[in-house]
Structure 1
Amino acid sequence: MPVITQSAKDTEVFAWELLTHASGIETWRRTLALVLWSWGASDATVEVARMGLSELMANVIRHVGDPRCRLSAVLDGGRVTVLLSDRSPRLPVVSQPDWDAESGRGLWMLREMCRGFGCRPVADGKDVWFELDLVAAGVEEVVL
Structure 2
Amino acid sequence: MAVSVHKNQTQSTRAWTLTANPHEIQRWRQAVAEALRRWGASREAIDLACLGVSELLSNVIKHVDDPRCRLRVRRVGERIVVQLIDRSPTPPSFEAPDWDSESGRGLWMLREMCAQFGWEKVPSQLGAKCVWFSCALTNKVER
- State the distance in 2 between where 1:32 and 1:21 align: 16
Match of 1:21 in 2: 21
> Any idea what the Cα deviations from partners look like across 1:24-67, whole Å, max 9, x if unmatched?
10000000000000000000100011011000000000000111
**Percent of paired sites with the same residue:** 46
TM-score of the superposed pair, with normalisation by structure 2: 0.90
**SS of residue paired to 2:48:** helix
Match of 2:129 in 1: 126
RMSD: 1.7
TM-score of the superposed pair, with normalisation by structure 1: 0.89
Match of 1:73 in 2: 73
| Runs (4+) off by over 6 Å | none
**SS of residue paired to 2:55:** helix
Q: Is the 8 A contact 2:42 2:140 kept in 1?
A: no
- State the distance in 2 between where 1:54 and 1:64 align: 15
Match of 1:115 in 2: 115
Residues 63, 137 of structure 1: alpha-carbon distance in 2 compared, 3 angstrom cutoff: same
- State the distance in 1 between where 2:25 and 2:32 align: 11
Counterpart code for 1:45: A
- Segments of 5+ residues of structure 1 without an aligned counterpart are none
- State the distance in 2 between where 1:35 and 1:139 align: 24
- State the distance in 1 between where 2:52 and 2:131 align: 11
**SS of residue paired to 2:12:** strand
Residues 65, 138 of structure 1: alpha-carbon distance in 2 compared, 3 angstrom cutoff: closer
Q: Is the 8 A contact 1:44 1:139 kept in 2?
A: no
Counterpart code for 2:134: E
